[in-house]
Structures are given as structure tokens and as C-alpha cells.
Structure 1
Amino acid sequence: MEVSMKNEKNTNNSTAHFRKDIGLFGGISLVAGMVIGSGIYYLGTTVLERSGMSMGLALLCWIVGGIVSILGGLCFAELGASMPVAGGQTVYLSRAYHPLLGFINGFNLFCINGSGSTAALAIASVAFLDGVMHLSSLTSKLLAILLIAAFTLINLVGVKKASYLQNFTMVFRLLPIVLIIVFGFAMGDVTPDLSLRHAFDDHSGITGAISLVAFATFASLWAFEGWTNMNSVAEELRNPKKNLPLSIIISLGTITIIYTIFNLAIYKVLPMDTISAMMAKGDLYLGSEVAVRLMGNVGYSLVLAGMIVGVLGTLNGGILVFPRTYYAMAKDGYFPKSFAKLNSKGVPANAIIASSVVACILVCLRDLDALVNLVIFFQAALNMLTVIGVLICRKKYPDIERPYKVLGGIPIIMITAALFAILLINQLITDPLNSLIGLVIPVIAVPVYFFFKKRNGGQDYSADNLE
């Protein structure tokens, strides 16, 4: 597909083109904005608990989670650089395997994973205020809906303004994390036990050790979730064949380092008995306690502000990137045709509005976090299939230009797929109920796929229609 920088006058023309308004820093900010949210503040307790309360093993699992994400990012970068179009993972799965698999991924995003993430982030933003203002349930939900509406309007104005907002939130959200790291290492007087001597006492043998590491690492992956979404806006990147892989590699590498030393800084301030007591009370935000101890109420306020900005930045990023997938699906004939139309600002307005409406509906539902958690297993499975899809696309479309190829070649691709497989199998064994319930989405998606294919005439893919 040829991408034009012109502003199309016909707002109802589905052949209008995206504007290339996102540069390298904007790309890095977008990945960081989609990844660094509230998860860094509360998932540390989950990873620690799954690691058998071994600080050393917990840090190792954060590193492993980062490595898995970076390796996955390298594979996604090859696909994105060779096919720099809107839609990202949905398009890759469609072209590597079959449009049905791509549709299942997009349908999952629209119904639960994407819209549900947007809803959960809006709720989380309001939840931070609830601790200060004691809001009622109805008021909290109304404020969450207003937040979604506000960021929807920002994204309807154009990707450039949304990208500017993403750049601002990325810089601001790093402030409390950096403060905790600096003050933690400078003033922390606890010597954490980082040895692995007793980490595997209850998990003997290689199989037991791998299972324990995989179980804890799987929890950390949720804190890295979001890196796949950069490919969804590849069509709006300046020089995507260079900036897409750079954005993914630089951002994920930096985030892995930040996550690891952030948790280490916490361990240097809070002794294990304090952490255990907080977890027993359900207080999972260890960073807030560190801020209070080292910087008083001012520090706590900074951390709280950073957490809110971080979540809002992730919320903005989701509203920006998810509708690009629905646009690509509609353009190929697998979603409502109106989703393939761009407005005068060069954004898929109908897809953005529909996605936000679904998110607002999900805000009104109870147990939203549990609902989102049901699809984590299936999303990880799709990530694994996308990684394998790199090899399939190389064989299926040998003549398309590949300005970037996975560093390390086929061995790295196979290792990445194997790591995802190990994590998935272990998760299926340790949490079979939620893993299997997550498969409800693809079952529902199949008849919906055939409905749109018959109605709109979805296209198949060959080497001749990749761009």
C-alpha cells in the first residue's frame, strides 16, 4: 500500500491515507506508553510471591520476562519492517496463516483485550483518586467513562497531537520511578538476600525449577504487555523500516533494565517481613511505601502523580493504536466497512469511537480485571504463532523487501517460540481453568468471521497484495 502524507479532503473515502506523523522518539514513547503503566508498581508482589518469596529469583524472572519480550519484539520488527501497514499483529497472522486467525486476534482486541484494557486503565486512574476523595462506585464509573471520552476526542483530532501527549506522559511517568531508584540505592539500608540457595527447595529437579521460573515470569509478562501494539501504527511512522525495529528494541531494552533495578531499589528499602505484611493486607503498591519512607508525603504525592500519569498515558496509547487494527480488518473486508474510513485529520474516527464505546460498556461491568485475565493465555499463544509466522512469511513471500531481519536468524526465532511455548504449557498446567475459558473468544469469533466475509468479501493474501 502506498502511503501518502497528504491530507485527504474526502473524509468518507476509505482510500484516504494515514499521515506519517510519528518519528523515532514518538515510536519509543508509544511503546513505553503502552508498556509502563500501573503494572510496574503492583506486579512486583505477584512475581515475588510466585518466586517463592525469593528476591533473587524474582529479579531473575523480571530479566527473563524482558528477554522474552525483546526477542518477541525482534521478530515483530521484521514483520513490521517488511509490511509497514496498519493492523500489526492481525495483519501478520492473516498473511502468515489464514485471515480467520487474524480476525480472531482482532476480534479478541475489540471485545475484550483491547477495549477491556482501555476500560481497566480508566478505572485504575480513578481508583488512585478514590483513596483521597472516597468516590462512590457510580461516580468512579462515570469519571472513568469521561476519561475515555476525553482521550477519544484527543485522538480524533489527529495522531500528531495524540503522539505529543504520549511523549509528555512518557517523560513525566518516569520521574517517580527514577526517584525511587535513585533514593532507594542512595538511602536504602537493607541488604536484600539475592541468593538462589533456597529458591528451589520446594521445586526439585530441572523440571521443577523451569516450572517455577516460568510461573513467575508469566506474571511479569503482563507488565511488558503492549509492545506488540507498536506495529499497529507502522503506517504512520516516518521511515518505518528503520524506526520500527529501533523503537521496539530501544524501548524494551530500556524498560527491562528499569523494571529490574526498580524492584532491586525496593528490596534495598523494604525488608522481607515488611513486604510480607503488606502483601498479607492486600497492599500491593510497594513503591508508594518506599516513597513515604524516603521522601515523606511529598514523595508519596510525586509517586501517586506519576502512577496516574503513567496509567493515563497507557490509556491514551491504547485508544490510539487499537482502532488501527479494526481499520485494517475493515479494509480487508472482515469488519464493518465504516471502520475503514478516515476523517479529515487522517485518523479512523469510526473505529476509534466504536472501540471507546465498547470500553465504556465494559467499565460498567463487574470483575473487569478477571475478564481481562481470561484472555492473557490466548494472547500469549497468538504472540507465539506470530513469532513462528516470521519463518512462514519468509517462505511464503520470499521476494518482498526485508530491510530488517531478526538478529541471530532462525535460531533466535526458534528459541523465542520455544520460550513462549514453555510459558504457555506451564500456565496451562498451573491455571487450567482461566487458560481454557480464554478460548471462548475464538469460538465466538468463527461465525462472526464468516458473516463479515460473506457480507463484505474479505480478501485472501498472496505476494502480490502485501502492501
Structure 2
Amino acid sequence: MSNAKIAELASLDTELKRELGLWEGVSIIGGIMIGSGIFFLGSFVLQRSQLAPGLALLAWLAGGVITLLAGLCYAELGASIPRAGGAYVYLREAYGPLFGFLQGWTAFFVSASGSISALAVAFATYFSAVVPLSPFGIKMLAIGTIIFLTIINALGVKLGGQVQNVLMVAKLLPIVIIIAAGLIFGSAGNSMTVFPGGAGLISSFGMALIASLWAYEGWSNVNTIAEEIKNPQRNLPLALLIAIGGVTAIYVLFNFALLKVLPAAAIAEDAKPAAAAAKLIFGPWGASLVTLGALISIFGSTNGCVLVFPRMYYAMAKDGLFFPLFTEVHPRYRTPIPSLIASAVVAIILLYTGTFQQLTTMVVFAGWVFYTLTIVSIFILRKKYPDLPRPYKVWGYPVVPVLSVLTSLFLLINCLKEDPRSSLFGLVIPALGVPAYYWFKMAQARREARLAAEGVASGHE
């Protein structure tokens, strides 16, 4: 590899503003991860665990371990290639531009935009418990939420990061209160068995794990804004490790606290088990506290997604593999406004394509296909670019990346087996991306030919 290529990949030069520090990075990751899942998925994970509380907690813990293993791999990639676009850039360098494009294309039409849609729907649904809304009203509020947060993040990455810091602190308060109260006052007496009563252990665990992983979605997104993080070689790996480790502890403790307060069957039957637990401990105001916490939590997660995803489309467009308009950066705010707007438009369209659970299943499966490919890219990039500076190297190499790949494959196979329809739909969009890639390549070639012809013509004048 040439010295010029090494310098390009490791360069800290950027059109975007480096205004985000370590704690903004932690807040963005944690803020995206701690969204709807902690409040919605307790019952869903327990259902899939066949009412085995120990197995449900194990699924929450395993989800965190799998995410942490992948996060260690992403930390090396982000520290050595601190460019906007995240996994798009790593896949492009490891496998070629087609794979990078397919990751970004799938994010644009399914995983990233679908996350924004699902979170906006969850926010509006929880809000309807405070102010009753019709189904139409819920959709309108979800759309309004997406538009409002797009405007906030168009006004500058620093403002978006500051909003994320405030929301992160605000969402943690009710969560910590529930954990403490549940552990101190809870006396439900649930058995912590890991053996499910119905289906087999492996099948039940696999489905519970898939459900829990929606709550961990968003952990990789700080890599997408690597060009806007101060000292990314240090702050990006630290932000990943602190956020993923902290969120895992919160999820396990939160669900253990619920099991201390409510019978397992009651949790499995209640779409809002946290509110039920808080009401039992504190009375009606406890349920109101959880509702407020859920609203802040989901709003913060949505804000983080709106902030980070458009940077990937910006990076793709700079490579000539997406719409040229997406390369535009606002001269004053230094934010990729066309990418922000396009992301919002697709997210709003996806609001009309399915339910919350359908959206989340598509997002998890499609996301982990590309997470797995990205983790494998560590081996390829170490061999392809041995001289690339690596300020952080994944701990336990090659064991940690291999374990991460194996657990990811288990997850994907189990997902295909148990929910083939939603999983396969998550593969349709990448397949459609192949002809789209060649269309963008041809369009880029035509633009370059036109510019070359114009240059020749001007030279003869």
C-alpha cells in the first residue's frame, strides 16, 4: 500500500467540524442504545424464554457480551480509519466499493431509516398514554418528531451532541430509581431457572437473544461520525467500551429488578412491565415516572440516530456512489443537510410499511449481516494494510474477532430459522442494491467524462 493511501485513511483532515469529545461520544452511543428496548422488550424477551427468568437474564447478558465483542473490533477500525461513514468505509477498503455501497444502501432503506421509524413510532405510542391519540395522531406525532430532530441536527453537530448529553442524564434517572427500588423492595420470589418450560433450550435462548439485541442496536454509530470526534484515536475506542459496558449492566440490572417486583407471567403479559413495576412500588406517580423516563429515553435514542446516520450517506456520495447532492455541507453549520433531509424522508415513508416488531426484526437481521462482514474485515485490513497506524488494537486478537463472528453467525442462522419472512426481507434490499451500485457507477463515469470534455473544450478556447 502506498504512503499516500495510508495518509488518506488515517488523516484527521475533514470538511466537518471536530466538536464532539469523549462524553458526547458516550452519550451518543448510550443515548441511541437506551431507547425503546429497555421499556418494551422485557415482556418480549421473557415470552421467547418460555417464562424462564434465568434464561431471559442470560439473553440480556449475552446480548451485551456479543455487542461488546463486536465493539472491540469496531474500536480498532474506527481508531485506525477515523473517517465519516463508519462500516461503509471499512467494507469499502476490505472488500471493494460494492460491499461498502450495499451496507450504506441497506442502511438507507432498511436498518438506519427503519431504526428512526421504529423509535419515532415507539415515542408516539408511549406519548399516547399521556395524551390519548388516534392511530392517525400517533403517526402524525412520529412524523413531527422526525422532522423536529432533523432540524435540531441540521443546526450543528455540537447542538445535537449537547441535546444528547442532556437527554442521556435525564433518561438515566428514572431507570436508576427503578433498579434501586426493585432490588431493595422487590419480593416476587421468581425462580431464576434457565430451563424453559416449552420449547428447547437453544431455540428459546436464540429467540430471546434476537429480541434483546434490538435494545443494543446503535452501538456502532459513533464510528459513523468519526470525522466529528476530537482525538478519535483515543476517544472513539473509549466511548465504545464505556457505553457498551455501562448499557449492558443497566439492562441486566433493570430486568432483574423487574423480576424482583413482578411475577414472570405478569411481566410476559404486560407490554409496559416497567410502568407496572413502578406503580406497584410507588403508586400511580411511579407509573407516570416510568412513562416520562420512557419518553425521554426514546426521544434521545431517536435524536442519536438522526444525528449519525446521514454521515454515512455523505461519505458514500463523496465516493461517487450515492446522489451527488448528498456531498453538500452547509457553509455555516458544517452539517450534511441534504443527507439529513433524505434520511428523514425515507424514515417517514417506512412508518407506513409495518408494525414496531416487524421493523425491529428487519433492522436486527439486516444490521448483523453487515456487522459480521465488518468484523471479518479486521483480518483482511491487517493483511492488506499492515503499515496502517493502529492506535488501538482489538484485545485478544484473533480470538475476540473469531468469537464475535461465530456468535453473529449463530444469531443470523437462528433468526432465519425462527422468522424467515422478516429475515429474508432484510436481504431483499441488499440484493436490489447490486444493480443500483452499477447505475451509480455509470452515472459517475458520465459525470467524469463530461467534466473531462468541458476541460478539453476550455483548454482550446
Same fold at TM > 0.5: yes
Q: Could you tell which deviates more after superposition, 385-394 or 117-126?
A: 117-126
Q: Could you tell which deviates more after superposition, 78-87 or 290-299?
A: 290-299
Match of 1:391 in 2: 379
1:412-434 Cα deviation digits (max 9, x unpaired): 11111111111111222222222
Alignment counterpart, residue 151 of structure 2, candidates 150, 153, 167:
153
Counterpart amino acid of residue 417 in structure 1: V
The normalised TM-score by structure 1 is: 0.90
- For 2:199 and 2:364, the matched residues in 1 are separated by 27
- For 1:401 and 1:220, the matched residues in 2 are separated by 35
Counterpart amino acid of residue 450 in structure 1: Y
Counterpart amino acid of residue 357 in structure 1: V
How far the C-alpha of 1:210 sits from its partner, in A, is 3.7
Match of 1:289 in 2: 276
- For 1:272 and 1:303, the matched residues in 2 are separated by 19
Contact kept, 8 Å, 1:38 with 1:307, in 2: the verdict is yes
Q: Could you tell which deviates more after superposition, 75-84 or 292-301?
A: 292-301
Counterpart amino acid of residue 437 in structure 2: Y
SS at match of 2:262: coil
Contact kept, 8 Å, 1:362 with 1:368, in 2: the verdict is no
Alignment counterpart, residue 377 of structure 1, candidates 360, 365, 369:
365
> Is residue 2:278 matched to residue 1:306?
no
Alignment counterpart, residue 242 of structure 1, candidates 211, 234, 237:
234
Contact kept, 8 Å, 2:394 with 2:400, in 1: the verdict is yes
The change in CA–CA distance for 1:448 and 1:63 in structure 2 (over 3 A counts) is: same
Match of 1:324 in 2: 311
- For 2:254 and 2:360, the matched residues in 1 are separated by 26
Alignment counterpart, residue 358 of structure 1, candidates 346, 362, 381:
346
Alignment counterpart, residue 255 of structure 1, candidates 247, 254, 259:
247
Aligned length: 436
> Is residue 2:410 matched to residue 1:418?
no
How far the C-alpha of 1:297 sits from its partner, in A, is 2.0
Counterpart amino acid of residue 452 in structure 1: F
Match of 2:261 in 1: 269
- For 1:161 and 1:262, the matched residues in 2 are separated by 30
Match of 1:461 in 2: none
User: Percent of counterpart pairs with the same letter?
Assistant: 44
SS at match of 2:311: helix
SS at match of 2:18: coil
- For 1:329 and 1:368, the matched residues in 2 are separated by 28
The change in CA–CA distance for 1:391 and 1:366 in structure 2 (over 3 A counts) is: closer
How far the C-alpha of 1:457 sits from its partner, in A, is 4.5
Match of 1:443 in 2: 431
Match of 1:26 in 2: 24
The change in CA–CA distance for 1:137 and 1:184 in structure 2 (over 3 A counts) is: same
Counting only pairs closer than 5 Å after superposition, residues 90-105 of structure 1 correspond to structure 2 as 90-105=88-103
Contact kept, 8 Å, 1:88 with 1:325, in 2: the verdict is yes
SS at match of 1:249: helix
How far the C-alpha of 1:331 sits from its partner, in A, is 0.5
> Is residue 2:215 matched to residue 1:227?
no
Match of 1:345 in 2: 333
How far the C-alpha of 1:440 sits from its partner, in A, is 0.7
SS at match of 2:320: coil
The normalised TM-score by structure 2 is: 0.91
Contact kept, 8 Å, 2:85 with 2:316, in 1: the verdict is yes
SS at match of 1:398: coil
Match of 1:13 in 2: none
Please, which runs of 5 or more residues in structure 2 have no aligned partner? 1-7, 447-461
Over aligned residue pairs, what C-alpha RMSD do you find? Answer: 1.7
Contact kept, 8 Å, 1:87 with 1:326, in 2: the verdict is yes
Counting only pairs closer than 5 Å after superposition, residues 45-124 of structure 1 correspond to structure 2 as 45-124=43-122
1:203-222 Cα deviation digits (max 9, x unpaired): 3xxxxx44432232121111
SS at match of 2:129: helix
Match of 2:450 in 1: none
- For 1:66 and 1:129, the matched residues in 2 are separated by 28
The change in CA–CA distance for 1:273 and 1:356 in structure 2 (over 3 A counts) is: closer
The change in CA–CA distance for 1:301 and 1:371 in structure 2 (over 3 A counts) is: closer
Please, which runs of 5 or more residues in structure 1 have no aligned partner? 5-15, 204-208, 459-467
- For 1:307 and 1:358, the matched residues in 2 are separated by 25
Alignment counterpart, residue 177 of structure 1, candidates 175, 181, 198:
175
Match of 1:11 in 2: none
